[in-house]
Amino acid sequence: MSPGPVMLDLVGVSITPQEREMLLHPQTGGVILFTRNYESPEQIASLICEIHSLRSPHLLVAVDHEGGRVQRFRDGFTHIPPAALYARGYDKDKKQAKLLARECGWLMAAECRAVGIDISFAPVLDIGKGVSGVIGDRAFHSKPEMIAELAHEYMSGMREAGMSATGKHFPGHGSVKEDSHTAQPVDERDLSDILMEDVVPFERMIHYGLAAVMPAHVVYPAVDDKPAGYSRVWLQQILRQQLNFQGMIFSDDLSMQAAGVAGDFASRAELALQAGCDMVLVCNHTDAASQVLQSLENYSNPASQARLIRMHGRGNIDRQALMASAQWKSVVEKVKLLGDTPDFELPV
């Protein structure tokens, strides 16, 4: 069965009969997991194995596991530091800062792959300007060029572990104070300013082979009156054509407050897909997910299906062997010695 364009979530630590039916729906293509789905490494590995066994090609299993404040699995997993910490000492020892970013990218991805996770939605490519509380220390740096350098290393570590990277939140969430989970952020800057600053990390990461992008639920009225995730200007003209991005585009969660501008959930999904998203996320709202699946009964996009399959995790990592390896022990010890307070303070 070909994968569909909808990514759903689950309410608990096992699959309910209703969820099983929804996961088997032809328009479902993936599952995103949250802390509520997690009890232990063994339990989550079993749950993911069950999800993967439902279909062939298997459903893509994703998680937000950046580190710092955004890490869904805690007990049994290494506490990955926030991205801002990787810039510690960058001016003094650039080589060591880049190595740390690569090692933490590998560690995050390897531990996730060892329980079956296909992708973690990382890295964040937003600029850490100290404006956006929801971004805060999730940003690598305050300078676009440094973000690109550190994110490239982080992505390289992820690749080593068999995981593709997703850059977010295109074209940049760092210049708005409002949180798109609870409000509608508006960035009033001109396109030229955004391209010369916020888009730089995305452009460079695309050059380095970035596999996927997640657009922001932010309105940039100088460019389009729609949020970037609903905008053909941003996704087709700028991301696809101008930046020559050929990879996967995931919408951000359509249940977020800022996504509501498009109307009901069926309308949100339709607008996101029409704008150029390959897959839409519908989280924390089972009825809405069902509505979206029904509304897309006749939808098909072979190009999106091919991109989605390329996001599947590569290779197998045995968790016990991983934790017994010298590489894992070395990186974990280094992370434990770091603490998690960046040298430059960003609001959280």
* Residues with catalytic function: 181, 252
Question: Are 168 and 125 in contact, with CB atoms under 8 Å apart?
Answer: yes
Q: How distant, in Å, are the alpha carbons of 34, 56, 105, 322 from that of 326?
A: 30, 35, 17, 9
Instruction: Compute, in degrees rounded to 10, the torsion defined by CA atoms 60, 66, 68, 70.
Output: -40
**DSSP-derived secondary structure for 319-348:** HHHHHHSHHHHHHHHHHHHH-S--SS----
**DSSP-derived secondary structure for 143-180:** SHHHHHHHHHHHHHHHHHTT---EEEEET-STT--S-T
How does DSSP classify residue 235? Answer: I
Could you tell me which of 298, 278, 280 has the C-alpha nearest to residue 289? Answer: 280
What is d(CA 248, CA 70) in angstroms, rounded to the nearest whole number?
A: 22
What is d(CA 270, CA 55) in angstroms, rounded to the nearest whole number?
A: 25
